[in-house]
Amino acid sequence: MKAFNPDNTPISLYIHLPWCEKKCPYCDFNINVNKSSGDEEKLLEALFEDLSFSKKYILNRKFSSIYFGGGTPSLVSPKIIERLITKLSNERLIKDHCEISFELNPKEVSKEYLNDITNIGINRISIGIQSFDQIVLDSLERNHNAQQSLIAMETVAEFEKLETSIDLIYGVMEQSQSSLQNDLETFCKYNFNHLSLYQLTIEPNTIFYKRELKIPSDEIIESMELIAKRTLNQNEIYQYEVSSWAKNNMHSKHNMNYWMYGDYLGIGPGAHSKITTSESILRMIKLKKVDSYFKDPTKNIITKIDESKYDLDLAMNLLRIKNGISFKEAKKRNIFISKQFNQKVVTGIEAGLLEKDLFKATPKGYKFLNDTINLFN
């Protein structure tokens, strides 16, 4: 595989704050429900050590985006968040116009909390609404209710300078097509910039996986997706990635860096990283258990992406982008395109799955995205 100077590859930072009040039955994220007194300080010290150790991966770069995810970051004191951002600023690791995102549970949204986090540099928030329908929330066993979701939306709407996003889920047991329609119309009413719209998937290591669940048929799922496209497009909100929709091109810079094969450093329990070196692409995972991470925050489980897997790894990311990426932009972002990759692109064009002038799935290729990606296997 051709080597590149990693200094030319954009980099983002993901900070994992692992605590939740409860484990949602569909969630397969690395979370912890046993937060003890003093744990926030222990995590902060571990994150500082992790960050210091990781400078060999950051090199001379600055973070173009920072994302506080979880878990439920809004369970953590704003003072801890402030000390993290101050540390990054003092180390001159934050790029100008950096997007700094923060996830919140609707229960924790208040003017006071929003004032606290915006005053320390948070400029984008994402609220885990999931649905405005109490029946759907009960099916998902969420720890907030529909009224709290509406109050959260109204509260956030007063912060006009914030970039705003919410999560919604479709394909849920007990969810009707009219329920999804109402969720989407409610979202549109509040004039938020961004929507992450996920189909419920039952992952093997979740509570739902152990139950016999009656989920909607493929035909109903397809109808729901058509409802989403129609409703959102009528409100000038357009899909730009498999699960992402935005108004006025207010795309998530952080997530776009993932999909455009940029580097990202993950710190915190179970955090993932993708790092370009002069010799290879590294995929890294931190220790998942919170206590283990406290003891050794510098330990990574490292996998090298070898040449035989590189094309597939690249295609799995780039092909998620609805509008594709030009080969000129790929070169600018320091993305290596092999001869074999180009040959597979030609095969995809001939099969009607890929466009001719840029790396982009056709409507047919996007509909059958797994088949399109498998061209690069």
Instruction: Give the confidence band of 111 by pLDDT, cuts at 50, 70, 90.
Output: very high
DSSP per-residue codes, 105-142: -GGG--HHHHHHHHHTT--EEEEEEE-S-HHHHHHHT-
Predicted pLDDT of residue 2: 56
Predicted pLDDT of residue 241: 96
pLDDT at 248 over 90: no
Element spanning 37, H or E: none
In this structure, the answer to whether residues 17 and 107 fall within a common structural domain is: yes
Give pLDDT tens digits for 313-360. Answer: 999 999 999 999 998 999 888 898 889 999 999 999 999 999 998 999
Which of these, 304, 186, 168, 140, lies nearest to 224 by C-alpha position?
A: 168
In this structure, the answer to whether residues 355 and 236 fall within a common structural domain is: no
Task: Report the CATH number that the domain containing residue 242 is assigned in CATH.
Answer: 3.20.20.70
Predicted pLDDT of residue 1: 54
Helices (H), the chain: 39-53, 55-58, 78-90, 111-119, 134-140, 146-157, 177-189, 218-234, 253-259, 290-295, 307-318, 327-332, 339-350, 363-367, 369-374
Residue 130's beta-bridge partner residues? 168
Please say which residue of 257, 277, 302 terminates a domain. Answer: 257
In this structure, the answer to whether residues 184 and 333 fall within a common structural domain is: no
Residue 133 lies in a domain: yes
Predicted pLDDT of residue 214: 82
Upper half-sphere CA count for residue 113 (Cβ side, 13 Å): 19
Give pLDDT tens digits for 128-150. Answer: 999 999 999 999 999 999 999 99
In this structure, the answer to whether residues 84 and 190 fall within a common structural domain is: yes
In this structure, the answer to whether residues 352 and 239 fall within a common structural domain is: no
Tell me the CA distances in angstroms from 36 to 17, 61, 69, 271, 292, one per residue in order.
Answer: 14, 35, 19, 21, 15
Residue 17 lies in a domain: yes
Predicted pLDDT of residue 174: 85
In this structure, the answer to whether residues 358 and 251 fall within a common structural domain is: no
Residue 275 lies in a domain: no
Domain range enclosing 43:
6-257
For residues 86-111, average pLDDT: 97
* Lowest mean pLDDT, pick from 31-35, 210-214, 297-301, 373-377: 210-214
Specify whether the backbone of 261 is left (phi greater than 0), alpha (psi in -120 to 50) or beta. left
Residue 324 lies in a domain: yes
For residues 1-11, average pLDDT: 76
Predicted pLDDT of residue 4: 61
Please say which residue of 225, 240, 257 terminates a domain. Answer: 257
Average pLDDT over all residues of the chain: 94
Record the pTM.
0.95
Strands 194-199 and 163-170: parallel
Please say which residue of 229, 257, 285 terminates a domain. Answer: 257
Instruction: Specify the number of domains making up the chain.
Output: 2
In this structure, the answer to whether residues 99 and 206 fall within a common structural domain is: yes
In this structure, the answer to whether residues 249 and 331 fall within a common structural domain is: no
Which of these, 196, 99, 121, 113, lies nearest to 156 by C-alpha position?
A: 113
Residue 341 lies in a domain: yes
Q: By the 8 A CB rule, do 124 and 162 touch?
A: yes
Give pLDDT tens digits for 155-207. Answer: 999 998 999 999 999 999 989 999 999 999 999 999 899 999 999 998 898 99
Residue 199 lies in a domain: yes
Which of these, 199, 308, 327, lies nearest to 260 by C-alpha position?
A: 327
Residue 246's beta-bridge partner residues? 194, 238
Residue 274 CB contacts under 8 Å (≥ 6 apart), including other chains: 258, 263, 264, 281, 282, 283, 284
In this structure, the answer to whether residues 243 and 345 fall within a common structural domain is: no
In this structure, the answer to whether residues 209 and 357 fall within a common structural domain is: no
In this structure, the answer to whether residues 246 and 317 fall within a common structural domain is: no
For residues 75-83, average pLDDT: 96
Residue 283 lies in a domain: no
In the chain, the amino acid numbered 213 is L
Residue 46 CB contacts under 8 Å (≥ 6 apart), including other chains: 293, 294, 297
Tell me the CA distances in angstroms from 227 to 91, 177, 323, 342, one per residue in order.
Answer: 47, 8, 21, 36
Instruction: Report the number of secondary-structure helices (H) and strands (E) in the chain.
Output: 15, 12
Predicted pLDDT of residue 3: 55
**What does the block give as tokens for 277?**
């070196």
In this structure, the answer to whether residues 93 and 183 fall within a common structural domain is: yes
Residue 316 lies in a domain: yes
Whole-number Å distance between alpha carbons of 83 and 117: 12
